[in-house]
Chains A and B, each alone.
Chain A
Amino acid sequence: MEITMLYYLIPSLIMFCCGVYGFITRRNMIAILISLELMLNSVDINFAVFNRFLFPGELEGMFFTLFAIGIAAAETALAIAIIINVFRVSEKIDVRDVNKMKF
């Protein structure tokens, strides 16, 4: 049995869909952030997989993943800072409570 590209893409896709499901259903903002990380991660996998299977001589996909990881780290740190700040103000981290940015 040959492990082709499809075998790598399917788990990545499932991981992405899990992220979507979690993002939509969870109330806790940290949980939402976790879902986000899942989605990002699945995209990272895709980059690496495409690079390895389709353009083995190049390193573009790998570097994209590398930078995506860096940016994800930055973004997570900021998001958590915001969440902690929100928690300080309202004692809750339920996403339904953070709806003042409307109208």
Chain B
Amino acid sequence: MESVGSIIVYVVIALALVVCSVLAVTTRKILRAATYLLFSLFATAALYFKLDYEFLGAVQIAVYAGGIVVLFVFSILLTSHPGDNSAKLASKKRLYGLAGGLAMLIVAGYSLISRASFLTATASGDNPVMEEIGMKLMGSGHGEYLLPFEAISVLLLACIIGGVVIARKR
């Protein structure tokens, strides 16, 4: 049985998540879309905290909210003039989009609920210790992640080079 405070926190997070997501894709001002994205990312981070994944939440805030959204903002400022509105969507197109989204919602939601013997599981376990995370990232045994860690470092390097090559002035 959850405490009332926990339920209230959950409701706030879930609402923020849903509302900010919807607004992020429906607002016509691109800078606002980025801002709503920022808030929904924060909400996600809060969700991680709620699930007792504190490191994950910290990474979410640092990388997503701190890094990627800043990138978005910079690129938006580079590519559009402040105050520009994107053109109003044709109703037909919006209808198609809605249909697609709703169909997705229905199919996924239906399969979620219909197969849901495990959906009643409750949260258990503790916040993973930082030391354990570090050991697992640096280990090469079963359930340890040295290889992906290295791979992703190479990927990031490739990404840096690629970004430089693509964006530099010719």
Contacts and interface: CB of A to CB of B under 8 A. Distances in A.
A87 B76 CA distance: 11
Contact of A62 (B56, B87, B119, B163): B56
B68 A38 contact: no
B65 to A, nearest CB: 11
A3 interface: yes
Given A5-B119, A27-B86, A34 B51 contact: no
- Which of A11, A14, A72 gathers most chain B CB within 10 Å? A11
Contacts of B82: none
Interface string B1-44: 11000110010001001100110110000100110010011001
Contacts of B68: 37, 72-73, 76
A4 interface: yes
A69 B109 CA distance: 25
A34 B25 CA distance: 8
Contact of B2 (A1, A58, A78): A1
A46 to B, nearest CB: 10
B120 A4 contact: yes
B146 to A, nearest CB: 11
- B-side binding surface: helix, strand, loop or mixed? helix
A78 B75 contact: no
Given A7-B14, A20-B104, A24-B100, A41 B121 contact: no
A21 B100 contact: yes
A66 to B, nearest CB: 6
Interface string B148-170: 10001001100110110011000
Contact of B104 (A16, A65, A80, A81): A16
A76 B10 contact: no
Contacts of A7: 10, 14
Interface in A41-83: 41, 44-45, 48-49, 52-54, 56-60, 62-63, 65-67, 69-78, 80-83
